[in-house]
Amino acid sequence: MTKQSFAPWTEEQVERLQLRQQTYLLHPYTCLRHSYRALRPTVNGWVCDGPGCDYSQNWAQDVDVNKTSWWNNVGPIWDDLEDA
Ligand SMILES: [Zn+2]
């Protein structure tokens, strides 16, 4: 069973989640009302930036919040892209 991590999160954790949302290598967390819209992480949880949308979500997979496994694979790629 996958462990979940509940907000509030630290700035560092939010930054990690934001990077995860932008990798394109992983399906992003999305709004339940706008399935195409990636959620934006905040210290208080995910929010949707859709017009008039108040959807929020206060959890993420622990592996994404405190991450290491996907980050170990994706992080180096991301760093390469940043340097490009
Ligand atoms: Zn939405």
Element of type H or E holding 70: helix 69-83
Output the pTM of the full model. 0.78
pLDDT at 81: 63
- State the pLDDT at residue 46: 98
* pLDDT for residue 43: 98
Domain boundaries, the chain: 4-74
For residue 69, the model assigns a pLDDT of: 60
- Residue 16: Cβ within 10 Å count: 20
Which of 69, 52, 75, 61 is CA-nearest to residue 7?
Answer: 61
Q: Along the chain (84 residues), what's the average pLDDT of each consecutive run of 10 residues? A: 90 92 86 94 97 96 78 62 62
> Residues whose CB is under 5 A from ligand 1 (ion)?
31, 33-34, 48, 50, 53, 55
Identify the pLDDT of residue 26.
82
Q: What is the structure's pLDDT at 2?
A: 73
Instruction: Report phi then psi at 18, rounded to 5.
Output: -65, -45
Ligand 1 center–CA 72 separation, angstroms: 30
